[in-house]
């Protein structure tokens, strides 16, 4: 993407609070030369393994990811 895209936004997906993110969602725009932004991210699971309310809203209700 170097030199070809910009306005890069990185959304980390944490398995649980306090755990390192193993996955992320990356968004970029072709032909734009602005910098990258690290977004707050989304915690997927509670300590008991259930989805967090935010993850449940995205997965079940089609809620938008915060940008």
16 belongs to a structural domain:
yes
Q: Give the CA dihedral 23, 27, 31, 37, nearest 10 degrees.
A: -90
According to the model, what pLDDT value does residue 4 have? 83
pLDDT of residue 9: 94
What is the per-residue pLDDT for 3?
A: 67
pTM over 0.85: no
Low-confidence ranges of the chain (pLDDT < 50): none
Asked, for residue 67, whether it belongs to a domain, the answer is: no
The total of structural domains in the chain comes to 1
User: Among 31, 33, 25, which residue's Cα sits nearest to residue 9?
Assistant: 25
> Shortest CA distance to 18 belongs to which of 50, 55, 51, 44?
44
20 in any annotated domain: yes
The residue segments making up the domain with residue 38 are 5-61
Output the CA torsion sign for 56, 61, 66, 67: positive
């Amino acid at each position: 993407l170097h030199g070809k895209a910009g306005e890069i936004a990185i959304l980390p997906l944490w398995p649980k609070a306090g755990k390192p993110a193993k996955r992320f969602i990356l968004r970029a725009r072709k032909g734009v030369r602005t910098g990258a932004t690290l977004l707050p991210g989304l915690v997927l699971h509670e300590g008991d393994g259930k989805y967090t309310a935010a993850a449940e809203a995205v997965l079940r209700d089609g809620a938008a990811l915060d940008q």
